[in-house]
Amino acid sequence: MAKQQDSATRSLISSLELRRPGGRALYWALFVLLLALTLTTILPLYWMFAGALKSTTEMLRVPPTWLPTEPRWANYPLAWSRLNYSRYFANTALIALGAWALQLAVSAPAAFALSKLQPAGGRVWLLLFLATLMVPPTAYLIPQYLTVVRLPLLNISLLDSWWGVWLPGAASAFNIFVLKQFFDGIPRDLTDAARVDGANAWQLFVQIVLPLSRPVLAVVSIFTLIGAWKDFFWPYLVLNDASLQPIMVALFRLANRAQEPLNLIVAALAIASLPPIIMFLIFQRQIIRGITLTGLKG
């Protein structure tokens, strides 16, 4: 009980420091700094959702208005119909789910093998994985595109196919590293006891490691889904067929139409930003727990 109370009252500044004048000044300075950083994140979102309720003339007014003088709620359904959002939302959802499934199918077994199976040269392989994080994505953009244009050995093209979006991102060095770090925190006594009972490597992975790794799996899943949802450049290169494009590419085409008013474009951007925001708000506890939890506590 004492440990729980200590963890509940723990903060950046101790209660003893808060009793001193310098400690209180530091506390309020940190509070103001964090509040300012929070506003820098919230204000652009507010400006986008409020701007979607304005007319184009009001959006371009100087000085700007913080509240719409005459809110136009019809801008949201009008933007939805003009962009054909039902199709592009479905496309984006399928692309995000496919990317999530492939990344977990590749990253989780790879991290398990490096952590629990400990193959020969495992540290070298992990170092090579991490080395790819130091290479700018633009450096391998052309080779990656040429690979998708004509897949080696199979000699098939993945252009205008969702596989061309899914496969290049299936192996994520960051996800493998995060999962391996978490798997390392699972006590070896559990896996050793399962091996004594006759469990093979696949049973260890599915029945022991994965059920204990829900927090980090939630973190990797959320980051993967949000990253796939907001991805623009690679789907723009690979998917030329408008019926397969995700919502970000469709928004780019909408913004380049000369006849589209600015307030409808902003309304379309606001609608597109809702799913990642809602997803984060729903799973924020799992994300924070997965980031802070580095292992199992007895």
How many Å apart are CA 20 and CA 15, to the nearest integer? 9
How many Å apart are CA 206 and CA 200, to the nearest integer? 10
- Among candidate residues 224, 215, 225, 218, the one with its CA nearest the CA of residue 275: 225
pLDDT at position 15? 67
How many Å apart are CA 230 and CA 248, to the nearest integer? 7
Work out the number of other CB atoms within 10 angstroms of the CB of residue 298: 3
pLDDT at position 189? 83
User: What is the set of domains in the chain, with CATH numbers?
Assistant: 15-75 (no CATH), 81-292 (1.10.3720.10)
pLDDT at position 12? 59
Residue with tokens 């009980």: 1
Q: Per the structure block, which two tokens stand in for 277?
A: 């925001």
Q: Per the structure block, which two tokens stand in for 250?
A: 């469709």
**Taking a C-beta distance cutoff of 8 angstroms, is the pair 100, 175 a contact?**
no
pLDDT tens for each residue of 67-80: 888 888 888 888 88
Q: Per the structure block, which two tokens stand in for 102?
A: 């492939």
Q: What is the pTM of this model?
A: 0.77
Burial grade of 108 (CB within 10 A; 0-12, 13-18, 19 or more): buried
Mean pLDDT of the chain: 82
- Among candidate residues 105, 175, 109, 171, the one with its CA nearest the CA of residue 140: 171
* Per-residue burial over 194-223, b = 16 or more CB atoms within 10 Å of its CB, e = otherwise: beeeebeeeebbeebbeebbebbbbbbbbb
How many Å apart are CA 71 and CA 50, to the nearest integer? 9
How many Å apart are CA 225 and CA 292, to the nearest integer? 20
**Taking a C-beta distance cutoff of 8 angstroms, is the pair 263, 55 a contact?**
yes
pLDDT tens for each residue of 231-245: 888 999 999 888 888
pLDDT at position 18? 65
Residue with tokens 């049973």: 203
Sign, CA torsion 132/134/139/141: positive
pLDDT at position 265? 83
Low-confidence ranges of the chain (pLDDT < 70): 1-19, 21-23, 257-258, 286-298
Map 161-204 to HEC letters: CCHHHHHHHCCCHHHHHHHHHHHHCCCHHHHHHHHHCCCCHHHH
